[in-house]
Amino acid sequence: MRTKKAPIRTVLPDGRYGSTRVTKFINAVMKDGKKTVAQKQVYAALEELAKKTGKKPVEAFEEVVKAISPQMEVRSRRVGGASYQVPMPVRAKRAFALALRWLISEAAKRPSKLHHTFAEKLVAEMLDSLQGQGGAINKRNTSHRMADANKAFAHFRW
Q: Give residue 29's pLDDT.
A: 95
Looking at residue 102, what is its pLDDT?
95
Residue 50 pLDDT: 94
pLDDT of residue 158: 67
pLDDT reported for residue 112: 85
Task: Decide: 52 and 46 in contact? Cβ < 8 Å.
Answer: no
What confidence score (pLDDT) does residue 45 get?
95
Angstrom distance (rounded) from CA 22 to CA 62: 9
pLDDT per residue as tens, the chain (158 positions): 678 988 988 999 999 999 999 999 999 999 999 999 999 999 999 999 999 999 999 999 999 999 999 999 999 988 888 998 899 999 999 999 999 999 999 999 988 887 789 999 999 999 999 999 999 999 999 999 999 998 888 887 76
Instruction: Decide if 51 contacts 57 (C-beta within 8 A).
Output: no
Q: Which pLDDT belongs to residue 155? A: 85
pLDDT digits (tens, 9 = 90+) for 35-78: 999 999 999 999 999 999 999 999 999 999 999 999 999 999 88
Do residues 110 and 99 lie in contact, with contact meaning Cβ atoms separated by under 8 Å? no
Q: What is the CATH number of domain 20-156?
A: 1.10.455.10
pTM confidence score: 0.90
Domain boundaries, the chain: 20-156
